[in-house]
A and B are shown apart, each in its own frame.
Chain A
Amino acid sequence: MPVLYASLLTLFLILIPGIGIGLFNMKALFGIVVLYGAFLIFISGVIYRVIIWAKSPVPFSIPTVCGQAKSLPWIRQNKIESPHTSWGVIKRMLLEVLFFRSLLRNEKGRLKTGGRLLFYRNLLLWFGGVLFHWSLFIIIIRHLRLFLEPVPSFVEFIYGLDGLFELFTPPLLITDLLILLGIIYLFFRRLFDPQTRYISISTDYFPLMLIFAIVITGLLIRHVQKVDIMGIKAFLIGLFSFNPSLPKESNTIFYIHLFLVATLLSYLPFSKLIHMAGVFFSPTRNLKNSSRMERHINPWDYPVLVHTYEEWEDEFRAAMKDVGLPVEKEN
């Protein structure tokens, strides 16, 4: 059922610009209004989510580490897994954000004959994640050639590297294939792994399908129904200089591509996809493992009124002595 809902929603999203452009030619709506709206929602949504996280206090020092903490000088500390300095935290965070290091520890339990439960290292999820995220990153970088004038040399370099195989004209880009591979793996992992399937809901499938549709429409306008890149770049630069003009392009697939990207942008801040910003706010990752060196102050702490035994005895000493109760201090 979750898969059905997600696919219906994706189809519906494809149909909106399909009908809007294909039948009614609403270029101003899908080429300008929707894009500005989505961009505005994206920026303000991300800022909104980030500020909410920044306002949430972290009461306890809870880094999740899996290595030896800083201890006595003759015990070797695991500096990457269990950092006690800010610099160490930055290193651990970078490795996590760039290479998904924690996924390397992914293990899968299997019940062997005789009731033995064995755990196997399973790197497939890590590999699928790397394929997907890195391809997406490179795809975004090389899209900059349609936004920046003159095209920066690193964008040109990456774009050239991506089309290294020179298969077809224009060359088929490697990351387009790799991201499809990544999405297909991540999608079928949810479907075929019973435990993962059990916890997967429609909002787990939907982003994968949405990005899949974006990649497919992108491939179509690059290789099948080719579009006029000059016109599109002029149109995109116009949008970013607040001087929008109606795109001259009449290819419906191009507008579907744009609309799906706009959907992704406006959906991102309010969905699981905001892990893009959220990863930096995970207290289990962004805190130092230094709870034995520095005191972590709970921001909720407020002065509590206490009445210690000493104060209590001072108050009632005379009465206690009268009835013969033992006292700690005589006066």
Chain B
Amino acid sequence: MVYDKGKVITGLVVFLIILLSPLWYNALSGKVEPSLKLSMPKEEKSCIEERMFMRSNHMDLLIKWRDDAVRKGIRTYKGLDGKVYRISLTGTCLSCHIDKAGFCDRCHGYSGVKTPKCWDCHNIPKEEGSKV
């Protein structure tokens, strides 16, 4: 015999609802995309480093670029294929990835990471009042 049946079952139901939240939340929201579509540059086929490296380590590269350019005055970076790039967010990165909302914000929104401090100083291309 189960004592306090009502309370026990309520507790278990609450536990299951919380535990299975990904299941019903994603189904109800209907916002899950089979694959995240990013607006990619059309002309260029490769970034300055490997695709997987850029996916997981782009933040390190950007910080390194910031330190190199702003603090050390180094303005060049040797990329994957030995090609030398000019260190510049606006001039290099954003010349291909022109669409912030369709590129940066897609993944950052998807993973709940607020866009970092890039845009405190840098212009957002295509945005009103932008000089790029």
Query: Which residues 120-175 in A have Cβ within 8 Å of B in the complex?
Result: 144-152, 155-156, 159-160, 169-170
B109 interfacial contact with A, CB 8 Å: yes
A156 to B23, CA, bound (A): 19
A47 interfacial contact with B, CB 8 Å: yes
B71 interfacial contact with A, CB 8 Å: no
B12 touches A50 (CB 8 A): yes
By a CB distance below 8 angstroms, the chain B residues around A277 are 11, 15
Q: Mark A50-63, 1 if CB is under 8 A from B, else 0.
A: 11001111100000
By a CB distance below 8 angstroms, the chain A residues around B3 are 54-58, 299
B112 touches A46 (CB 8 A): no
B32 interfacial contact with A, CB 8 Å: yes
B21 interfacial contact with A, CB 8 Å: yes
A29 interfacial contact with B, CB 8 Å: no
A296 interfacial contact with B, CB 8 Å: no
By a CB distance below 8 angstroms, the chain B residues around A236 are 22
B107 interfacial contact with A, CB 8 Å: yes
Contact residue among B11, B26, B52, B57 (Cβ-Cβ distance under 8 Å from A241): B26
A146 touches B2 (CB 8 A): no
A43 touches B111 (CB 8 A): no
A156 to B31, CA, bound (A): 17
Query: Which residues 48-76 in A have Cβ within 8 Å of B in the complex?
Result: 50-51, 54-58
By a CB distance below 8 angstroms, the chain B residues around A229 are 56, 107, 111, 113
A270 interfacial contact with B, CB 8 Å: no
B31 touches A50 (CB 8 A): no
A1 interfacial contact with B, CB 8 Å: no
B114 touches A156 (CB 8 A): yes
A216 interfacial contact with B, CB 8 Å: no
A169 in contact with B22 given A46-B15, A54-B2, A230-B110 (CB within 8 Å)? no
A220 interfacial contact with B, CB 8 Å: no
A226 interfacial contact with B, CB 8 Å: yes
A234 touches B36 (CB 8 A): yes
Query: Which residues 13-30 in B have Cβ within 8 Å of A in the complex?
Result: 15-16, 19-23, 25-27, 29
| Minimum CB distance partner of A159 in chain B | B112
| Minimum CB distance partner of B1 in chain A | A55
Q: Mark B20-61, 1 if CB is under 8 A from A, else 0.
A: 111101110101100110000000000000001001110110
A151 in contact with B111 given A43-B16, A50-B11, A54-B4 (CB within 8 Å)? yes
User: A251 to chain B: closest CB distance in Å?
Assistant: 9
A119 interfacial contact with B, CB 8 Å: no
A38 interfacial contact with B, CB 8 Å: no
Sampled A-B contacts (7; CB under 8 Å): A147-B22, A147-B26, A150-B109, A151-B112, A169-B59, A237-B32, A240-B22
Given contacts A57-B3, A148-B21, 16 further A-B contacts (CB under 8 A): A47-B12, A50-B11, A54-B8, A58-B3, A147-B21, A149-B26, A169-B59, A169-B60, A169-B116, A170-B59, A226-B60, A234-B36, A236-B22, A237-B22, A240-B26, A277-B15
